[in-house]
């Protein structure tokens, strides 16, 4: 088999008029999970941004295949996945990019890398999974080049260097194998001038149907949570670029629903206010209302002027990382708010008219020496009580994940608590499976059962009946003629929440059914047996 460098030396002799194809692939989830439904309506922003950068280069033709958002027009194999053999036969790609931003999709990424490299295709991968200690693993599983860090500039330089037959070691931010040894080039500085990048081009997606369009603004995060892979000083694009992305998506794709993907909406107050004013003025000028969702800190509810500006900009839903309503767990995660304060701040968002999506982590392991003695049943009770009192519209409860390269993973690994990878594979790293030995009195089986109990009480079959009830009471809006907008909001909130909660019940039932049919229980038993040497646990 030819090396990647040799393939590109052949390319360089093909002549200036020859066009090459770059196919970016977002690997499929390993199985149906709680993200599957939303994944069919949106896509990941990072791969689109990287593919867009390549599309501006000559002589490259670019396409994106999102295996989680892949419509009926695309060919499929016997497993229902995209049929890459047919895709490659019909539209041959010389280079394939593979998105490694979700650890649970890494087994599928390696399968694709091997498939394409066996056919002489150069494979390039990147994403958060490779930001830690998995560089050699990736290069041993069919990946020719790993992009370390942000990829837009790195991949453009790599393709240019390879096409010209030069040494890829010239390109900062890369790792590859040479004579069996890992070559890691100079570190690339994080991007600062986002205006130099083209706007993400979603028309590059093939066989996909988008309803919810991701929008980027801020990269990096200064919170330094030990369980998170996103680190570094926050770097923001201009407010005008945010508004430009929204306007371009509306004009080109008739988009109406947007998700600003960054965790830090409201980080720079004046810039945030300007973003809101630009979006509000744009919608007023075109006489169209848009629907935006943002991720924001809970304490931004203390700024009523900001909340009003957000509402005028069309921001209807806020996603908030509560993490936990349990005092001891909040202290373990270095969170400064008390549960009572969290409820009051949530009510401020609700009073301002926002729909609230709450994100929680159940069973967070405290640092060594700290004690969280709350039993499983009491933890579940506290979660349910908090969610009810805060009147959160939709929830997501996940287990802690020892992602590669995080401080949490290093801490748990030093205590010999992370389950061996050959027992619990990467495909289970999606937040729905226990991946380490928890502190007593909790057991791994209890952790998984608890998140099912919390969400099972929230997402229920009886919400279907509530949907019918909301339809029947719709005519009562006539009593709100004095304030029709307020009446509509109240009715819509109930109808929308019941619809989503019934849909959530269906998703949970399907996920539980697949869990029972699978082999995770046996793998979990084997993983607990394999933990060696036995970890020393703090006495209770």
CA distance 523 to 26: 27
pLDDT in tens, 187-225: 999 999 999 999 999 999 999 999 999 999 999 887 778
Rounded distance between C-alpha atoms, residue 326 and residue 167, angstroms: 54
- Count the alpha carbons within 13 Å of 512 in the hemisphere toward its beta carbon: 13
State pLDDT tens for residues 526-535.
999 988 655 5
Which of 3.50.50.60, 3.40.50.280, 3.90.1570.10, 3.30.2350.10 is the CATH number of 4-184?
3.40.50.280
Domain boundaries, the chain: 4-184, 209-457
Give every CB contact of residue 99 below 8 A, 6+ residues apart in sequence: 24, 25, 26, 27, 44, 46, 47, 105, 109, 125, 126, 127
**Between 333 and 432, whose confidence is greater?**
432
How far apart CA 335 and CA 327 sit, in angstroms, is 9
Give the pTM: 0.92
Residue 377 burial class via C-beta count within 10 angstroms: exposed 0-12, middle 13-18, buried 19 and up: exposed
- Given pLDDT bands bounded at 50, 70 and 90, which one contains residue 261? very high
In whole angstroms, give the CA distance from residue 468 to residue 473.
Answer: 9
pLDDT tens for each residue of 207-216: 999 999 999 9
Q: Give the pLDDT band of residue 490 (cuts 50, 70, 90).
A: confident
Q: Which fold has domain 209-457?
A: TIM Barrel (3.20.20)
3-state secondary structure of 266: coil
The string of pLDDT tens digits covering residues 42-55 is 999 999 999 999 99
Three-state DSSP class for residue 82: strand
Q: Is the pLDDT of residue 180 over 70?
A: yes
Mean pLDDT computed over every residue of the chain: 90
In a 3-state reduction of DSSP, which class is residue 352?
coil
pLDDT at site 26: 98
Average pLDDT over residues 128-134: 86
What per-residue confidence (pLDDT) applies to 488?
65
Q: Which band of pLDDT confidence, cut at 50, 70 and 90, is reported for residue 1?
A: very low
Least confident of 122-131, 215-224, 256-265, 375-384: 215-224
Residue 445 has pLDDT above 80, yes or no: yes
Average pLDDT value for residue range 446-457: 94
Whether residue 497 has pLDDT greater than 80: yes
Structure tokens given for 415: 């205590």
Reported as a single tens digit per residue, the pLDDT across 386-395 is 999 999 999 9
Q: How many residues does the chain have?
A: 540
Which percentage of the chain shows pLDDT scores above 90? 74
- Residue 369, pLDDT score: 65
pLDDT at 430 over 60: yes
How are beta strands 60-66 and 291-296 bridged, if at all?
A: unpaired
The percent helix, strand, coil of the chain (3-state, each to 5) is 45, 15, 40
In angstroms, rounded to a whole number, what is the distance separating the alpha carbons of residues 471 and 476?
10
Q: Is 226 helix (H, G, I), strand (E, B) or coil?
A: coil
- Closest by alpha carbon to 65, among 121, 27, 107? 27
- Least confident piece of the model among 5-14, 172-181, 230-239, 474-483: 5-14
């Amino acid at each position: 088999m030819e090396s990647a460098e040799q393939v590109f030396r052949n390319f360089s002799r093909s002549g200036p008029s020859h066009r090459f194809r770059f196919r970016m692939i977002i690997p499929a989830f390993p199985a149906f999970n709680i993200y599957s439904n939303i994944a069919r309506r949106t896509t990941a922003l990072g791969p689109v941004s990287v593919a867009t950068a390549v599309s501006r280069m000559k002589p490259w033709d670019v396409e994106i295949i999102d295996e989680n958002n892949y419509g009926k027009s695309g060919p499929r194999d016997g497993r229902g996945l995209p049929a890459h053999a047919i895709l490659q036969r019909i539209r041959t790609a010389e280079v394939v990019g593979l998105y490694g931003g979700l650890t649970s999709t890494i087994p599928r990424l390696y399968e694709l890398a091997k498939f394409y490299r066996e056919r002489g295709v150069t494979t390039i991968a990147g994403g958060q999974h490779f930001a830690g200690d998995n560089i050699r693993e990736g290069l041993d599983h069919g990946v020719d080049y790993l992009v370390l860090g942000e990829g837009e500039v790195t991949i453009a330089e790599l393709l240019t260097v390879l096409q010209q037959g030069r040494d890829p070691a010239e390109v900062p931010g890369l790792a590859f194998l040479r004579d069996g040894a890992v070559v890691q080039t100079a570190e690339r500085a994080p991007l600062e001038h986002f205006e130099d990048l083209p706007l993400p081009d979603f028309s590059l997606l093939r066989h996909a149907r988008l309803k919810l369009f991701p929008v980027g603004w801020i990269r990096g995060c200064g919170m330094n949570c030990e369980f998170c892979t996103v680190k570094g000083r926050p770097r923001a694009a201009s407010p005008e670029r945010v508004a430009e992305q929204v306007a371009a998506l509306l004009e080109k794709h008739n988009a109406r629903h947007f998700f600003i993907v960054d965790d830090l909406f409201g980080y720079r107050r004046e810039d945030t206010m300007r973003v809101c004013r630009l979006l509000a003025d744009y919608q007023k000028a075109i006489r169209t209302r848009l629907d935006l969702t943002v991720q924001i800190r809970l304490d931004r509810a203390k700024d009523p002027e900001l909340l009003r500006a957000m509402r005028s900009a069309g921001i209807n839903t806020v996603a908030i990382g509560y993490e936990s309503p349990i005092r001891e767990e909040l202290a373990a995660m270095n969170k400064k708010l008390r549960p009572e304060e969290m409820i009051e701040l949530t009510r401020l968002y609700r009073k301002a008219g926002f729909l609230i999506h709450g994100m929680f982590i159940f069973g967070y392991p405290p640092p060594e020496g700290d004690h969280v003695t709350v039993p499983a049943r009491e933890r579940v009770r506290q979660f349910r009580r908090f969610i009810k009192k805060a009147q959160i519209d939709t929830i997501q409860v996940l287990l802690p994940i020892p992602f590669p390269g995080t401080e949490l993973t290093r801490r748990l690994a030093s205590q010999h608590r992370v389950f061996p990878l050959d027992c619990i594979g990467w495909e289970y790293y999606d937040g729905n499976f226990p991946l380490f030995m928890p502190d007593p009195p909790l057991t791994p089986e209890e952790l998984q059962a608890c998140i099912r109990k919390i969400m099972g009480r929230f997402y229920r079959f009886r919400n279907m009946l509530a949907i019918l009830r909301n339809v029947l009471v719709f005519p009562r809006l006539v009593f709100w003629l004095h304030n029709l907008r307020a009446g509509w909001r109240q009715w819509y909130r109930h109808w929308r929440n019941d619809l989503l909660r019934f849909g959530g019940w269906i998703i949970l039932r399907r996920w539980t059914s697949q869990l029972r049919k699978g082999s995770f229980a046996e793998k979990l038993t084997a993983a607990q047996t394999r933990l060696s040497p036995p970890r020393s646990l703090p006495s209770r």
